[in-house]
Amino acid sequence: MLEYKEISTYIFIIGTAQGILLSIFLFKKKENKTANKFLALMMLVFAWDLLYGVYFLSGLHLKYPQFIGCSASLPYLYGPAIYLYVYLLSRSKEKIPQKLFYHFLPFFLIQIYGIFFVYFENIEFKLSLVDFDAKQPFVIDWIGNLIPFHGVTYTIITLVEGNRFNRRLKINFSDIEKVNVKWIMHFVYGTAVVWSVVVISYILNYIYGHEMQANILIYIFISFLLYSLGLRSLRQPEVVMVEKELPDETSSYEKSGLSDEKAEDIHQDLLQFMEREKPYLNNKLNLSDLSNSLHISNHNLSEVINKKRNQNFYDFINSYRVEEVKRLIEDDKEMNYSILALGYDAGFSSKSAFYTAFKKYTTQTPAQYRDQFKLKKVV
């Protein structure tokens, strides 16, 4: 029967191969080139770290101790790299802003320390670094102990960036299915799980000692994350983004200078236009299209919807689509059309968006609403 170390080694090898294959796939992608090339490099780093796990589990570190310490700084790459990937993808950046390179400062400082105090030291010193009973240099201890705090901090700011992007999308688009924020959040939540396991592993090692080897859990979860990302990449190979960076959220509305009287005029024009022209039937409708039709700026239209309707653009348009579906259901007395077909006729572009919006505004599924309407007719 295979021991857990052997099983873990096989998992790490598979994870390494998955990371390399995923990086090749990402390098070849034509969409979002900067973000995907950056992610490809990160996948290679993941793969190298997993291979380093094989190096220890197989005992090769005892035969070739000169490589000990080479991966100590890699955990300080993960948090900034994942954050930067989400930042580039969500903002459709073609170049990495110089200010973001400061996020990699801890990694480079550790590398400098390694050059002077670790990489060229003798074999006995390097073997002492993996002897958990030996007293470690103060800096080495801090480098190891700060890893979970560094990772959790970056997980939080990456989640904030991802959620902020999701909100910005809803300010500008009535359909966000093709602007695939789900892929981004899948990636972010996956890495959040890995960092949670890192924290748990550190706690277990503190309580029970390093003999428990809880750190193996970290690399097992990294392997599964790479496998999951590989499958998601194949199933959803394209992340369609906007052509330019989206405007910020409602925090800038107070500086717009739009008077209440003017805002109310725009509001009334908007409601009349929605009733008369029914622009929401166009499933590709966005804020820019509607503002052009009303001959006002994107910013003013977004502000009016936010202040007068207490909604973002996405919810505002989809509320009209839900009302249109309700009308179509009531008109379809012979039930000649499927509910989904009525949803598409009302402007929805996917089943998931249709059902989610309908339940949000009616607290019922479309089928429940139709059944209830049939009962009213009978009575």
Q: Domains plus CATH for the chain?
A: 4-235 (1.20.1070), 266-378 (1.10.10.60)
Tell me what the pLDDT averaged over the chain comes to: 85
What does the pLDDT average to over 4-17?
Answer: 84
The answer, yes or no, to whether residue 87 has pLDDT greater than 50, is yes
Q: Looking at the DSSP assignment, which residues form a beta bridge with residue 173?
A: 286
The answer, yes or no, to whether residue 8 has pLDDT greater than 60, is yes
Give the pLDDT score at 180: 60
Give the pLDDT score at 241: 47
Give the pLDDT score at 356: 93
Give the pLDDT score at 310: 93
The answer, yes or no, to whether residue 243 has pLDDT greater than 50, is no
What does the pLDDT average to over 293-305?
Answer: 93
pTM: 0.80
pLDDT band of 213, cuts 50, 70, 90: low
Structure tokens at 22: 């995923």
For residues 208 and 74, the model is more confident at: 74
Distance CA 39, CA 14 (A): 19
What does the pLDDT average to over 102-124?
Answer: 93
What does the pLDDT average to over 114-127?
Answer: 91
pLDDT band of 27, cuts 50, 70, 90: confident
The tens digit of pLDDT for each residue in 153-187 reads: 999 999 998 888 888 888 888 888 766 667 777 77
Give the pLDDT score at 358: 96
286 backbone dihedrals φ, ψ, rounded to 5°? -130, 175
The answer, yes or no, to whether residue 192 has pLDDT greater than 80, is yes
pLDDT band of 254, cuts 50, 70, 90: low
Of 96, 99, 91, 98, nearest in space to 247 by CA: 91
Give the pLDDT score at 250: 52
Give the pLDDT score at 5: 75
Give the pLDDT score at 132: 75
The answer, yes or no, to whether residue 210 has pLDDT greater than 80, is no
For residues 239 and 31, the model is more confident at: 31
What does the pLDDT average to over 285-301?
Answer: 93
In this structure, of 78-92, 107-121, 322-336, the range with the lowest mean pLDDT score is 78-92
**pLDDT over 90 for what percent of the chain?**
39
The tens digit of pLDDT for each residue in 262-283 reads: 999 999 999 999 999 999 999 9
The answer, yes or no, to whether residue 140 has pLDDT greater than 80, is yes
Burial of 97 (0-12, 13-18, 19+ CB in 10 A): exposed
Burial of 16 (0-12, 13-18, 19+ CB in 10 A): buried
What does the pLDDT average to over 182-211?
Answer: 82
**How many C-beta atoms surround the C-beta of residue 240 within 10 A?**
10
Q: Give 354's contacts (C-beta < 8 A, 6+ positions apart).
A: 321, 325, 340, 343, 344, 346, 348, 366
